[in-house]
């Protein structure tokens, strides 16, 4: 199928909550959205890179530059035999999986819409709703944390993830566990610890966590493997899993027992499905992570999480938790811990262009004549 034109919209949206992690505080998101057009339909992608490289190396400015001057001029105006072919084309370039994912994911949506097929069916999904939990940022104090956990458990979320950092770890988990002895609890350190902190992290073994997410450096599998030997709680890798190869090596080394998949972190749906396949081969459960996405990225994540290996609850909670007004028309709301897969062709959602015009902070077009 031929991609006739591309349009990038950069919008800025305020978050409804202050999201504090070990690497910073976020109160809004600068969101690059990509619209690809062809055969009378349009497909959408969303970038999860940030203005500052706090989570991985990629930045918004770097990605926009690559999209405008390299990726989009190469893919627009060409006929692609399948989404896989486009993914392989982008893979000739090194790194930058988040920028690649914007194009790869938008093309998957376009492709599925042109076929009149919901994306989850094209991907090989097996369920029409996906299990979800929530990721809660560092709260004001212990009381506020316990209260936030209570609220989200009452809303039906199937797992609570608490952000931790040195100085805000064991005491928080102890307080939450005491109040909720049966809840599925996890923690996410976003790379805030070092191997020398192994003793402190091992104290968390007492609280029956489902896993500890990305305790050590974003690019270090070896120390995670060493740490795993000293912990009873499984390690789940997030930042470190940038490809199926990284997932294989992590699992071979014993650096993780659980994998957080983010489609937009690994370069798109093709690579995400391979990460899922690798994890299944090792018997490691996977779950769908999140990057505070708007409706576009969230819809992609929900479709992706319909593959059979996504047995643990993901981070794709209700859009209304994040946004006063989303960039799409459709609500994406979980019911009692289950997120329904949007119906209709492609990712099943439509951009609210009137709203986008009001929050636009940048953008450009590639191709399309005129």
Which of 238, 293, 315, 326 forms a contact with Mg ion (CB under 5 A)? 238
Q: Measure the CA–CA gap between 13 and 113, rounded to whole angstroms.
A: 27
Distances (CA, A) of 285 to 11, 40, 127, 281: 35, 39, 16, 10
- Considering only residues 81 to 120 of the shown chain, the ones binding ligand OSB according to CB under 6 A are none
Q: How far is the CB of 285 from ligand OSB (least distance, A)?
A: 16
Q: How far is the CB of 141 from ligand OSB (least distance, A)?
A: 20
Q: Measure the CA–CA gap between 30 and 51, rounded to whole angstroms.
A: 7
Q: Using CB under 6 A, which of the segments 83-91, 117-125, 199-207, 290-298 binds ligand OSB? A: 290-298
Tell me whether residue 44 or residue 287 sits nearer to ligand OSB (CB atom). 287
Tell me whether residue 137 or residue 345 sits nearer to Mg ion (CB atom). 137
Relative to beta strand 129-131, strand 41-46 is unpaired
Smallest CA-to-CA distance from 176 within 187, 167, 192 is with 187
319 CB-near residues (< 8 Å, 6+ apart): 294, 295, 298, 326, 331, 332, 333
163 CB-near residues (< 8 Å, 6+ apart): 20, 21, 22, 135, 136, 137, 138, 187, 188, 189, 190
Q: How far is the CB of 286 from ligand OSB (least distance, A)?
A: 14
Q: How far is the CB of 290 from ligand OSB (least distance, A)?
A: 2
Facing residues of 236 across strands?
Answer: 213, 258
Phi, psi of 238 (to 5 degrees): -120, -80
Q: Measure the CA–CA gap between 112 and 114, rounded to whole angstroms.
A: 5
Q: Does 315 bind ligand OSB (CB under 6 A)?
A: yes
Q: Does 188 bind Mg ion (CB under 5 A)?
A: yes
Which of 292, 339, 351, 356 forms a contact with ligand OSB (CB under 6 A)? 292
Cα 348–chain centre separation: 18
Q: Using CB under 6 A, which of the segments 107-115, 121-129, 241-249, 288-296 binds ligand OSB? A: 288-296
Q: Does 290 bind ligand OSB (CB under 6 A)?
A: yes
Smallest CA-to-CA distance from 322 within 306, 304, 301 is with 301
Q: Is 163 helix (H, G, I), strand (E, B) or coil?
A: strand
Distances (CA, A) of 3 to 64, 80, 119, 128, 318: 19, 8, 18, 29, 32
Any catalytic annotation for residue 163?
A: yes
Binding map of ligand OSB across residues 119-138, x = CB under 6 A, - = no contact: ----------------x---
Cβ proximity of 240 and 214 under 8 Å: yes
Q: Does 190 bind ligand OSB (CB under 6 A)?
A: yes
Q: Does 271 bind ligand OSB (CB under 6 A)?
A: no
Any catalytic annotation for residue 226?
A: no
Q: Using CB under 6 A, which of the segments 107-115, 139-147, 276-284, 286-294 binds ligand OSB? A: 286-294
Which of the choices ligand OSB, Mg ion, none does residue 290 contact, using the CB cut-off of 5 to 8 A by kind?
ligand OSB
- Considering only residues 35 to 64 of the shown chain, the ones binding Mg ion according to CB under 5 A are none
Relative to beta strand 212-213, strand 286-288 is unpaired
Q: Does 158 bind ligand OSB (CB under 6 A)?
A: no
- C-beta nearest to Mg ion: residue: 238
Smallest CA-to-CA distance from 95 within 261, 246, 305 is with 246
Q: Using CB under 5 A, which of the segments 167-175, 220-228, 232-240, 340-348 binds Mg ion? A: 232-240
Q: Using CB under 6 A, which of the segments 79-87, 167-175, 287-295, 354-362 binds ligand OSB? A: 287-295
Q: How far is the CB of 238 from ligand OSB (least distance, A)?
A: 5
Q: How far is the CB of 237 from Mg ion (least distance, A)?
A: 9
- Please tell me which residue in 163, 165, 226, 325 is annotated as part of the active site: 163
Q: Is 203 helix (H, G, I), strand (E, B) or coil?
A: helix
Residues with a catalytic annotation lie at 163, 262
What is the binding site for Mg ion (CB under 5 A)?
188, 213, 238
What is the binding site for ligand OSB (CB under 6 A)? 55, 135, 188, 190, 238, 289-292, 315, 317
């Amino acid at each position: 199928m031929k991609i006739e034109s591309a349009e990038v919209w950069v919008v800025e949206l305020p978050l409804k909550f202050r999201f504090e992690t070990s690497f910073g505080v976020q109160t809004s998101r600068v969101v690059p959205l990509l619209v690809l057009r062809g055969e009378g339909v349009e497909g959408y992608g969303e970038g999860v890179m940030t203005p500052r490289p706090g989570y991985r190396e990629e930045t918004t400015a770097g990605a926009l530059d690559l999209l405008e001057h390299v990726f989009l001029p190469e893919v627009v105006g060409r006929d692609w035999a399948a989404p896989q072919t486009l993914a392989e084309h982008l893979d000739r370039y090194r790194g930058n999986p988040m920028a690649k994912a914007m194009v790869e994911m938008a093309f998957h949506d376009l492709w599925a819409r042109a076929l009149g097929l919901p994306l989850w069916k094209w991907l090989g999904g097996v369920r029409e709703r996906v299990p979800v939990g929530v990721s809660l940022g560092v709260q004001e104090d212990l009381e506020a944390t316990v209260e936030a956990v209570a609220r989200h458990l009452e809303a039906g979320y199937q797992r609570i993830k608490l952000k931790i950092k040195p100085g805000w770890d064991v005491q928080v988990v102890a307080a939450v566990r005491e109040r909720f002895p049966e809840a599925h609890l996890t923690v996410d350190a976003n790379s805030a610890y070092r191997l020398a902190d192994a003793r402190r992290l091992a104290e968390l073994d007492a609280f029956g966590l489902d896993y500890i997410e990305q305790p050590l450096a974003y690019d270090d599998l070896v120390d995670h493997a060493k740490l795993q030997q000293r912990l009873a709680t499984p390690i789940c890798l997030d930042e470190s899993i940038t490809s199926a190869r990284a997932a294989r090596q992590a699992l071979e080394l014993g650096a993780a027992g659980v994998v957080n998949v983010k489609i937009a972190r690994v370069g798109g749906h093709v690579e995400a499905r391979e990460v899922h396949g690798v994890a299944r081969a090792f018997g490691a459960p996977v779950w769908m992570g999140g990057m505070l996405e708007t409706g576009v990225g969230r819809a992609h994540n929900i479709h992706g999480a319909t593959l059979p290996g996504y047995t643990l609850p993901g981070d794709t909670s209700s859009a209304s938790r994040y946004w006063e007004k989303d960039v799409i028309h459709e609500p994406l709301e979980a019911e009692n811990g289950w997120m329904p897969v949007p119906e209709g062709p492609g990712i099943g959602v439509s951009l609210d262009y009137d709203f986008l015009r009001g929050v636009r902070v940048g953008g450009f077009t590639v191709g399309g004549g005129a």
